[in-house]
């Protein structure tokens, strides 16, 4: 019988204990709880930005309801549930039925915010979202925790290809906000928007970064957070935080990095992206918490090619096209090149 | 004023409605030269009771808030629902000729975005009941006393989401949800219970918390009684009416033909089928 082996077995050391693979001089990190906070030491943060923003957005909007598939506490929707218990629908661990029920609710004029993990929405319920909700243009907001590599649990919970899956669906708006501020503002924006939306969420204690920049979330708009002469990073989601950190690290190497945050993946703000990428002959690096296949990177590449923009260098900081390892998030982020340090190293190496 | 036409003294009998639905369906099949005609003929009595006995609606205002919602989960049964919607006055009769042609409002598979009176886009089988759960919840939020009906086929019993929805409807005690299962015992690859055995069916629905009735779906009296019971029930439970139907019912030579999911009808046979149907009118 042939079977794929991962972890220490992958190196051809079948049967070898994992300890034999590690450097004994270093303490080995452990896989944390399902949802590890991404807040680093000393970083400012805000708790449950999605839940609190939705409570505010729903204050004068009795049409907004919340639905979850046994993951209210793990998507911060429980905050909404505590504030509006009669508008909170626990649908059980039945994601397909939840998407259909949300379609039915939207039929009746309500605006359901449905939550689960990104893997389940994308892989498990795709047809139900497509044919139940989006084909009819129903006003359902699908808000999902654990996007990309934000858990060490392994491929069962790592939504490394959710954007690739959803980008193929006509009429679905896709949003990948960066931090607590972005998530809060995006929640208000998608509540005001008419039409189906898929939004990636960080939950729990979420880093707060963008309040230090002249930034406001606008649906469908990319924003230049900092300018730079050598490299233009185009990024979404948590990789925008990493890009801003990497840009600071690279300052010491006299590499000047611009960061263009593009939280709306679809429809993509092609005008801004093409304009920035065509300016100043800078290297273009697209950074995303997602597979190299089918995400922001390929969306940007397509836009640049179609518009005749050829930067001197084009690279992706993204997850490799493999089923990722299980392990501690800091270990995995380093291993797959999406930590700020790894990103800075990659960019330096490419120049 | 509600268009519950049976309230009108001179309204045609349900049997006459069913005959007209079958005839509309055969005419559409004739235009296309094909169609899921065996299913349409089989389910015509269920649709007659639905649209001319049970449902409230306004033909001139298909989106009227006070209507009962009728979901066609089985998109390929669209030919049957169009036939009923024409008879109900929601679709003009002359549109029948456009069935399945380019730019028609009557595509082969039923879609809400194309057709007035078509509540959902079915066709990806197994999605109707879950949407009905959401509509049932939504109607309750609005304190509406309307019902949501979901018409599904026995083939859709194979789909997992059907049972997620069944459990969910039971959990929420959706007494405004009436599910109609057309058991014609035939799906794409053959006899339904041979493809995947769904029996014992009533026991399954009961175990999921539903009020269950099983009737001969081509017996008008039994159907009327079952719909009345389902609507009048005071138990806080969703209701299912399992309808055992005969494919191609009403056209004896097609009824006798070896059954398949997509019944072949030769070009010259459409006229013969209509003749045979007409011969049985009022019988």
Interface contact flag, B161 A131, Cβ < 8 Å: no
pLDDT means per 10 residues in chain A (351 residues)? 71 52 70 76 94 98 98 98 98 98 98 98 98 97 98 95 98 98 98 98 96 97 98 98 98 97 98 96 98 98 98 98 95 96 98 94
How far A87 CA lies from chain B's nearest CA (Å)? 9
Claim to verify: residue A71 and residue A182 sit in the same structural domain: yes
Claim to verify: residue A173 and residue A233 sit in the same structural domain: no
Instruction: Answer for the pair B53, B106: CB distance below 8 angstroms, yes or no.
Output: no
Interface contact flag, A96 B161, Cβ < 8 Å: yes
Claim to verify: residue A319 and residue A345 sit in the same structural domain: yes
Claim to verify: residue A154 and residue A199 sit in the same structural domain: yes
What is the pLDDT at residue A328? Answer: 93
Task: Classify residue B137: in a domain, yes or no.
Answer: yes
Contact pairs from chain A to chain B, CB under 8 Å = 98
How far A94 CA lies from chain B's nearest CA (Å)? 6
Task: Classify residue B4: in a domain, yes or no.
Answer: no
Residues of chain B contacting residue A63, judged by C-beta atoms under 8 Å apart = none
**Host domain of residue A68:** 45-207
Q: pLDDT tens, B74-116? A: 999 999 999 999 999 999 999 999 999 999 999 999 999 999 9
- Is B163 in the A-facing interface, judged by CB distances under 8 Å? no
Claim to verify: residue A202 and residue A224 sit in the same structural domain: no
Final residue before a domain boundary, out of A207, A229, A253: A207
Final residue before a domain boundary, out of A207, A228, A244: A207
A65: domain CATH number is 3.40.50.970
- Is B139 in the A-facing interface, judged by CB distances under 8 Å? yes
- Is B136 in the A-facing interface, judged by CB distances under 8 Å? yes
Nearest Cα to B249, choosing from B226, B267, B223, B214? B223
Q: What distance in Å separates the CA atoms of residue B82 and residue B32, rounded to the nearest whole number?
A: 14
What is the pLDDT at residue A18? Answer: 52
Claim to verify: residue A231 and residue A294 sit in the same structural domain: yes
Interface contact flag, A109 B135, Cβ < 8 Å: no
Nearest Cα to A291, choosing from A139, A162, A137, A114? A162
Claim to verify: residue A178 and residue A135 sit in the same structural domain: yes
Claim to verify: residue A189 and residue A61 sit in the same structural domain: yes
Task: Classify residue B81: in a domain, yes or no.
Answer: yes
Q: Could you say which of A102, A110, A136 has the minimum Cβ distance to residue B141? A: A110
Q: pLDDT tens, A198-232? A: 999 999 999 999 999 999 999 999 999 999 999 99
Residues of chain A contacting residue B133, judged by C-beta atoms under 8 Å apart = 97, 100-101, 104
Q: Could you say which of B113, B134, B142 has the minimum Cβ distance to residue A100? A: B134
- Is A109 in the B-facing interface, judged by CB distances under 8 Å? yes
What is the pLDDT at residue B2? Answer: 47
Select from B130, B136, B172, B208 the residue whose CB has the most chain A CBs within 10 Å, as the one to mutate to test that interface. Answer: B130
Q: What distance in Å separates the CA atoms of residue A242 and residue A223, rounded to the nearest whole number?
A: 16
Q: Could you say which of A65, A101, A110 has the minimum Cβ distance to residue B168? A: A101
Nearest C-alpha in A relative to B126: A128
Q: How many domains does chain A have?
A: 2
Task: Classify residue A337: in a domain, yes or no.
Answer: yes
Claim to verify: residue A168 and residue A228 sit in the same structural domain: no
Decide if pLDDT at B1 tops 50: no
Interhelix angle A340-350/A238-251, nearest 10 degrees: 60
Q: Is the pTM of this model over 0.90?
A: yes
Q: pLDDT tens, A321-344? A: 999 999 999 999 999 999 999 999
Interface contact flag, B141 A108, Cβ < 8 Å: yes
Claim to verify: residue A68 and residue A187 sit in the same structural domain: yes
Q: pLDDT tens, B214-238? A: 999 999 999 999 999 999 999 999 9
- Is A128 in the B-facing interface, judged by CB distances under 8 Å? yes
**Host domain of residue B82:** 13-279
Q: How many domains does chain B have?
A: 1
- Is B171 in the A-facing interface, judged by CB distances under 8 Å? yes
- Is A62 in the B-facing interface, judged by CB distances under 8 Å? no
Q: pLDDT tens, B157-175? A: 999 999 999 999 999 999 9
Task: Classify residue B117: in a domain, yes or no.
Answer: yes
Task: Classify residue A28: in a domain, yes or no.
Answer: no
DSSP A257: E
- Is B179 in the A-facing interface, judged by CB distances under 8 Å? no
Nearest Cα to A221, choosing from A142, A276, A167? A276
A232: domain CATH number is 3.40.50.920
Interface contact flag, A101 B111, Cβ < 8 Å: no
Nearest C-alpha in B relative to A93: B164
Which ranges of chain B would DSSP assign to H, the alpha helix?
A: 14-32, 37-49, 78-87, 128-141, 160-171, 192-195, 201-207, 220-232, 252-256, 269-279
Decide if pLDDT at B255 tops 50: yes
Nearest 5°: the CA angle A257, A271, A228 is 10
How far B167 CA lies from chain A's nearest CA (Å)? 10
Task: Classify residue A9: in a domain, yes or no.
Answer: no
CB atoms within 10 A of CB A206: 27
- Is B111 in the A-facing interface, judged by CB distances under 8 Å? yes
Claim to verify: residue A64 and residue A130 sit in the same structural domain: yes
Interface contact flag, B138 A104, Cβ < 8 Å: yes
Final residue before a domain boundary, out of A207, A242, A269: A207
| ipTM beyond cut 0.90 | yes
Interface contact flag, B135 A127, Cβ < 8 Å: no
Task: Classify residue B2: in a domain, yes or no.
Answer: no
Nearest Cα to B122, choosing from B155, B98, B169? B155
Task: Classify residue B7: in a domain, yes or no.
Answer: no
Claim to verify: residue A312 and residue A178 sit in the same structural domain: no
Q: How far is CA A6 from CA A155, A326, A328, in A?
A: 11, 9, 15
What is the pLDDT at residue A161? Answer: 98
Q: pLDDT tens, B39-86? A: 999 999 999 999 999 999 999 999 999 999 999 999 999 999 999 999
3-state secondary structure chain A: CCCCCCHHHHHCCCCCCHHHHCCCCCCCCCCCCCCCCCCCCCCCEEECHHHHHHHHHCCCCCCEEEEECCCCCCCCHHHHHHHCHHHEEECCCCHHHHHHHHHHHHHCCCEEEEEEEHHHHHHHCHHHHHHHHHCCCCCCEEEEECECCCCCCCCCCCECCHHHHHHCCCCCEEECCCCHHHHHHHHHHHHHCCCCEEEEECCCEEECCHHHCCCCCCCCCCEEEECCCCEEEEECCHHHHHHHHHHHHHHCCCCCEEEEECCEEECCCHHHHHHHHCCCCCEEEEEEEEECCCCHHHHHHHHHHHCCCCCCCEEEEEECCCCCCCCCHHHHHHHCCCCHHHHHHHHHHHC
Residues of chain B contacting residue A136, judged by C-beta atoms under 8 Å apart = 112-113, 120-121
B152: domain CATH number is 3.40.50.970
What is the pLDDT at residue A73? Answer: 96
Q: Could you say which of B119, B138, B160 has the minimum Cβ distance to residue A105? A: B138
- Is A85 in the B-facing interface, judged by CB distances under 8 Å? no
How far B34 CA lies from chain A's nearest CA (Å)? 25
Instruction: Answer for the pair A340, A242: CB distance below 8 angstroms, yes or no.
Output: yes
For residue B12, what pLDDT band results from cuts at 50, 70 and 90?
confident
Task: Classify residue A247: in a domain, yes or no.
Answer: yes
Nearest C-alpha in A relative to B68: A108
Q: CB within 8 A of B166, min separation 6: which ones?
A: B129, B179, B205, B208, B210, B238
Interface contact flag, B130 A104, Cβ < 8 Å: yes
Task: Classify residue B244: in a domain, yes or no.
Answer: yes
Task: Classify residue B39: in a domain, yes or no.
Answer: yes
Task: Classify residue A212: in a domain, yes or no.
Answer: no
């Amino acid at each position: 019988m042939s079977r794929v082996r991962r972890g220490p077995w992958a190196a051809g050391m079948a049967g070898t204990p994992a300890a034999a693979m590690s450097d004994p001089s270093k303490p080995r990190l452990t896989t944390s709880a399902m949802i590890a906070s991404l807040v680093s030491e000393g970083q400012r943060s805000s708790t449950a930005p999605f839940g609190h923003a939705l409570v505010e957005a729903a204050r004068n909007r009795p049409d907004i309801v919340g639905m979850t598939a046994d993951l209210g506490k793990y998507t911060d929707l429980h905050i909404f549930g505590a504030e509006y218990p009669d508008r909170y629908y626990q649908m059980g661990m039945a994601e397909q039925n939840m998407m259909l029920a949300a379609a039915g609710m939207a039929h009746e004029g309500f605006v359901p915010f449905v939550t689960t993990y990104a893997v389940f929405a994308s892989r498990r319920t795709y047809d139900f979202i497509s044919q139940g909700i989006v084909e009819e243009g129903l006003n359902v907001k699908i808000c999902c925790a654990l996007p990309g590599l934000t858990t060490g649990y392994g491929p069962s919970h790592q939504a490394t290809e959710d954007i690739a899956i959803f980008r193929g669906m006509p009429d679905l708006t896709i949003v990948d906000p960066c931090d607590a501020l972005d998530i809060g503002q995006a929640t208000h924006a998608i509540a005001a928007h008419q039409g189906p939306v898929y939004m990636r969420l960080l939950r729990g204690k979420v880093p707060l970064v963008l309040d230090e920049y002249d930034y406001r979330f606008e649906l469908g708009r990319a924003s230049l957070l900092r300018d730079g002469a050598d490299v233009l990073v185009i990024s979404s989601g948590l990789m925008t935080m990493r890009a801003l950190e990497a840009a600071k690290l690279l300052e010491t190497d006299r590499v000047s990095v611009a960061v263009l945050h593009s939280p709306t993946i679809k429809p993509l703000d092609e005008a801004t992206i093409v304009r920035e990428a065509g300016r100043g002959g800078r290297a273009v690096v697209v950074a995303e918490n997602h597979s190299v296949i089918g995400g922001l990177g390929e969306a940007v590449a397509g836009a640049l090619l179609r518009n005749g923009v050829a930067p001197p260098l084009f690279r992706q900081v993204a997850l490799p096209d493999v089923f990722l390892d299980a392990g501690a998030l800091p270990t995995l982020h380093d291993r797959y090149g999406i930590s700020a340090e790894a990103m800075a190293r990659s960019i330096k190496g490419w120049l | 004023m509600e268009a519950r036409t049976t309230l009108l003294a001179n309204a045609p009998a349900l049997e006459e409605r069913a005959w007209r639905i079958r005839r509309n369906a055969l005419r559409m099949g004739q235009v296309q030269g094909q169609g899921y005609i065996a299913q349409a003929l089989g389910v015509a009595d269920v649709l007659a009771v639905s649209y001319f006995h049970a449902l409230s609606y306004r033909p001139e205002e298909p989106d009227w808030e006070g209507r009962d919602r009728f979901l066609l989960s089985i998109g390929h049964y669209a030919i049957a629902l169009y036939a009923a919607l024409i008879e109900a006055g929601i679709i003009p009769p002359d549109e029948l000729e456009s069935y399945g042609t380019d730019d028609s409002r009557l595509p082969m598979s039923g879609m809400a975005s194309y057709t007035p009176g078509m509540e959902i886009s079915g066709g990806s089988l197994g999605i109707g009941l879950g949407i009905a759960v959401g509509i049932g919840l939504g109607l309750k939020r609005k304190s509406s006393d309307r019902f949501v009906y979901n018409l599904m086929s026995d083939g859709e019993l194979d789909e997992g989401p059907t049972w997620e929805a069944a459990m969910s409807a039971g959990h929420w005690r959706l007494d405004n949800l009436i599910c109609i299962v057309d058991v014609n015992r035939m799906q794409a690859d053959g006899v339904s219970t041979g493809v995947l055995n769904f029996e014992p069916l009533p026991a399954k629905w009961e175990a999921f918390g539903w009020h269950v009735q099983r009737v001969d779906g081509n017996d008008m009296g039994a159907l009327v009684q079952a719909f009345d019971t389902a609507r009048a029930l005071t138990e806080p439970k969703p209701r299912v009416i399992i309808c055992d139907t005969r494919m191609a019912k009403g056209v004896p030579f097609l009824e006798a033909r070896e059954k398949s999911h997509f019944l072949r009808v030769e070009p010259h046979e459409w006229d013969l089928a209509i003749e045979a149907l007409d011969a049985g009118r009022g019988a």
